[in-house]
Structure 1
Amino acid sequence: MQSLKDRHVVVTGGTGALGSAVVKAFIEAGATCHIPAIEATPPTGHLPDSKQIEVVPSVDLSSEDSVDAFYAKLPPLHAVVNIAGGFAYAPIADSSVKVLQQQLSMNVVSCALSCRAAVANFRKGGPDGVKRGGHIVNIAARPALNPRQGANMTAYTASKAAVAAFTVALAEELKNDDISAIALAPSTIDTPANRKDMPTAKHDTWVKPTAIAELIVAHCSLSETINSGAVMPVYGKA
């Protein structure tokens, strides 16, 4: 294991319920987190008040120029965690092409562009020119591994399956660069929004954001990239 003290990490979606838990875990481990946010005035209420957190407004993760401009200002990175995305509960009869394109843009395009910029940062290395590799963690979803569970949310399921496949292909592409790429495939995450949307569900079976955060930080603390290419089920008791 390696220390994360004074390391720099990007967490997309870092102002959300899962993202803020991940940010908190990283800063407790000593890292500094850089969070791109699409809003001009990002909602930071979930985040701790810490000098180890930088929230950058008006970053559109579906725009190549916007993503590249965000990454161009960052120091050498240790890890990038791609949590930003979106969800659409829509059976195929109600899924216009706009729904499909939106899900692909929010979940696949944002992830791919962030990974692309992350790889460029990792390969550039530090001021001394030494390349130290890095870690990429993407967030897929359980239906990506079990598509039958994606009924009535087919566009979302397809986009998350694409994230999983993209991550495996990326890991193979980067296997000689000392850059790891994995994806987590959570079942329902125990967030206030999900509890509101599913008030009668068995909330105690859902995965806690803090548990996912611990897993991500542990992975990014590994000194070897032995699990690169893994798509890990994170189902809790579900």
Structure 2
Amino acid sequence: MEFHGRHVVVTGGTGALGTAVTAALVEAGAVCHLPVRSGPPKGFPFADHPRVALYRGVDLVDAAAVGTFYDGLPGLWASLHLAGGFAFGCFRDAEDDTLAGQIAGNLGTCVLCCREALRTFHRSGAEGRIVNVAARPALEPRAGAGMAIYAATKAAVAALTVALAEEVAKEDVLVNAVAPSIMDTPANRKDMPKADFPAWPKVEEVAATILFLASADNRVTRGAVVPVYGKT
């Protein structure tokens, strides 16, 4: 998959999956634009890479900040929306800030970034790609027991993806999403030490699916919410 010289936004680009996506894009020749609220975590391997630009102070739940970020980009090829958060627990005990945070972090950031990416594509008259990140409970809601608000917000991301894909198909913009199950990350291994780690999808494997959907090699796939479950 060839990304040489193509400009790609990666939200959540310094997280576990985001780092894998950024690594794959850099290897494929892309120029990566990563909005971050404060700064990359210690040890982020692409902090000084010449084709990875970090934009500090970008709050992805702030419409004005998101608009300013996208307005300053060069010719955009793809926008990949990995930013989000997870909350587990009994729904009736959920605090107001937990509910609001899940809605804003999972759905709100995706909505704002999709909108600004589409505006950027429209201004330039160029084709483009959008890839969102849903989750397995978005496709299998019963799997969302104990994480209901997370499942609901990721289901909304999936619905947004399919609706937008239909809306902009004639504009040469392909919109898709991936729906991972629990991914093999250090944090997940720590939280679930007795799990079957080899069965979990690896972040590099999920990243490979995202890259295909975002690539020029993808000419026809739109409106897909692709399960990336591994062996689980």
Residue in 1 aligned with 2:156? 162
Question: Which residue of 111, 131, 136 maps to 1:137?
Answer: 131
1:192-232, CA deviations, whole angstroms, 9 ceiling, x for partnerless residues?
11111111100111110111111111222234541110111
Within 1, Cα distance between the matches of 2:208 and 2:30? 14
Q: Residue 85 of structure 2 contacts residue 102 of structure 2 at CA under 8 Å; is this kept in 1?
A: yes
Residue in 1 aligned with 2:49? 50
Task: Report the 3-state secondary structure (helix = DSSP H, G, I; strand = E; otherwise coil) of the residue aligned with 2:58.
Answer: coil
Residue in 2 aligned with 1:128? none
Residue in 2 aligned with 1:90? 89
Within 2, Cα distance between the matches of 1:45 and 1:57? 16
Within 1, Cα distance between the matches of 2:217 and 2:231? 30
Question: Amino acid of the residue matched to residue 209 of structure 1?
Answer: V
Which range is displaced more, 214-223 or 74-83? 214-223
Q: After TM superposition, give the deviation of residue 97 of structure 1 in Å.
A: 3.0
Establish whether residue 228 from structure 1 lines up as the match of residue 227 from structure 2. no
Question: Amino acid of the residue matched to residue 153 of structure 1?
Answer: M
Q: Residue 212 of structure 2 contacts residue 218 of structure 2 at CA under 8 Å; is this kept in 1?
A: no
Question: Which residue of 201, 221, 230 maps to 1:207?
Answer: 201
Q: Residue 21 of structure 1 contacts residue 209 of structure 1 at CA under 8 Å; is this kept in 2?
A: yes
Residue in 2 aligned with 1:150? 144
Residue in 1 aligned with 2:12? 13
Within 2, Cα distance between the matches of 1:44 and 1:16? 11
TM-score under structure 1 length normalisation: 0.94
Q: Residue 180 of structure 1 contacts residue 228 of structure 1 at CA under 8 Å; is this kept in 2?
A: yes
1:84-116, CA deviations, whole angstroms, 9 ceiling, x for partnerless residues?
000000211211332221101000000010010
Q: Residue 9 of structure 2 contacts residue 79 of structure 2 at CA under 8 Å; is this kept in 1?
A: yes
Question: Amino acid of the residue matched to residue 88 of structure 1?
Answer: A
Within 1, Cα distance between the matches of 2:50 and 2:156? 35
Q: When the two structures are aligned, how many residues end up with a matched partner? A: 231
Q: What's the Cα RMSD here?
A: 1.2
Within 2, Cα distance between the matches of 1:213 and 1:47? 16
Which range is displaced more, 168-177 or 44-53? 44-53
Q: Residue 179 of structure 1 contacts residue 225 of structure 1 at CA under 8 Å; is this kept in 2?
A: no
Which range is displaced more, 223-232 or 23-32? 223-232
Within 1, Cα distance between the matches of 2:107 and 2:79? 15
Question: Which residue of 186, 196, 201 maps to 2:180?
Answer: 186
**What percent identity do the matched residue pairs reach?**
48
Task: Report the 3-state secondary structure (helix = DSSP H, G, I; strand = E; otherwise coil) of the residue aligned with 1:181.
Answer: strand
Which range is displaced more, 214-223 or 189-198? 214-223
Q: After TM superposition, give the deviation of residue 59 of structure 1 in Å.
A: 0.5
Gaps spanning 5+ residues in structure 2: where?
A: none
Within 2, Cα distance between the matches of 1:107 and 1:44? 24
Runs of 4+ in 1 over 4 A off after TM superposition: none
The structure-2 alpha-carbon separation of the partners of 1:212 and 1:147, relative to structure 1 and needing over 3 Å to count, comes to same
Q: Residue 12 of structure 2 contacts residue 34 of structure 2 at CA under 8 Å; is this kept in 1?
A: yes
Residue in 2 aligned with 1:25? 24
TM-score under structure 2 length normalisation: 0.96
The structure-2 alpha-carbon separation of the partners of 1:70 and 1:219, relative to structure 1 and needing over 3 Å to count, comes to same
Residue in 2 aligned with 1:114? 113
Question: Amino acid of the residue matched to residue 114 of structure 1?
Answer: C
Q: Residue 176 of structure 2 contacts residue 213 of structure 2 at CA under 8 Å; is this kept in 1?
A: no
Q: Residue 15 of structure 1 contacts residue 44 of structure 1 at CA under 8 Å; is this kept in 2?
A: no
Which range is displaced more, 7-16 or 225-234? 225-234
Within 1, Cα distance between the matches of 2:60 and 2:175? 19
Task: Report the 3-state secondary structure (helix = DSSP H, G, I; strand = E; otherwise coil) of the residue aligned with 1:105.
Answer: helix
The structure-2 alpha-carbon separation of the partners of 1:66 and 1:121, relative to structure 1 and needing over 3 Å to count, comes to same
Gaps spanning 5+ residues in structure 1: where?
A: 126-130
